[in-house]
Structure 1
Amino acid sequence: MMLHPNQELEPPANPARFRDACEAWLKECQRNNLERATIRSYRGHVEHHIDKKIGVLLVADLTRGDIAGFMDDLQDEGLSRAMTRKVLEVCVLLSTRPCNWTGSTGTLRVT
């Protein structure tokens, strides 16, 4: 997985990173009383796969290509197709939720 050419490895803390979106989404899942096992599963996908690969990317810069490359990387590293699909489902759930962690209300859109 490659970062964008002008993107730093660790962007400044001020802009919203994908890991910030994940954490906000997991907290929302808890507030909405999702089953503990479901939240634990989602958190595992975030911690073991999503954050390590694309957590540093800025939400505003995230593209479909980034997600596609991320999925390819997971499978290249030996993650099963079924598990890769589950990780992708977390990304999709997160990307369609209403949010305000970017500084404005709206929906995270992956372009």
Structure 2
Amino acid sequence: YTKEDRESVSKALLAVGLGGFETRPIDTLSGGQLQRTLFARVLLQDADLILLDEPFNAVDAKTVGDLIQLIKRWHGEERTIMVVVHDLDLVRQNFPETLLLA
């Protein structure tokens, strides 16, 4: 990997609250840390379309709030975001456009 690659990874991890985790083995991460790592991967991909399936499973309330802020940031950048979530209160509070499948 190049120096720029390593710097990009460090910035992405810092953005999701995992600064300093660059060399930590993935199998040592908690559920919340793993979800944050997956969000960092999305940051690195810089995609216009983001698909997230139950991104808030196994994470605490603070992590949910932090990850929702990232989703809102991506929305503000005019990216298309599709999220599968089963917590209807969370959906009502944070996702302005929804499709309910029953």
TM-score above 0.5: no
Of Structure 1 and Structure 2, the greater strand share is in 2
User: More helix by proportion, 1 or 2?
Assistant: 1
TM, length-normalised to structure 2: 0.35
Bigger Rg, structure 1 or 2: 2
